[in-house]
Amino acid sequence: MPRLLRFLAYESCDFAVARALRIAGHDVEAVAEHSANSVDRELIRRALESQRILLTEDRTSGGWCTPMVNAAQE
């Protein structure tokens, strides 16, 4: 049986990605479905606390992701 994964889809993530992952049986929480203008630090904290993989299409996220993960863990 394949291992199902848990994802948190950031607002920038195309909803088609979330839909395809859900169809494949994965647990996807899409931020756009229940909040707008989310704060990056809070999303990273939420992903860490709920043990979800953060999905984003923001190509600049590499610059803030590592420091934000460290800050969210403090």
Query: What is the per-residue pLDDT for 35?
Result: 74
21-53 per-position pLDDT tens digit: 999 999 999 988 887 677 778 888 888 899 998
Give the Cβ contact number of residue 30 at 10 Å: 20
Tell me the residue ranges of DSSP E strands in 1-74: 6-9, 27-30, 53-55
Return the pLDDT at 69: 47
- Where are the chain's structural domains? 6-73
Q: In what order do the strands lie in the sheet with 6-9?
A: 27-30, 6-9, 53-55
Among 53, 66, 67, CA closest to 13: 53
Q: Is the pLDDT of residue 20 over 70?
A: yes
Average pLDDT of the residues in 10-25: 89
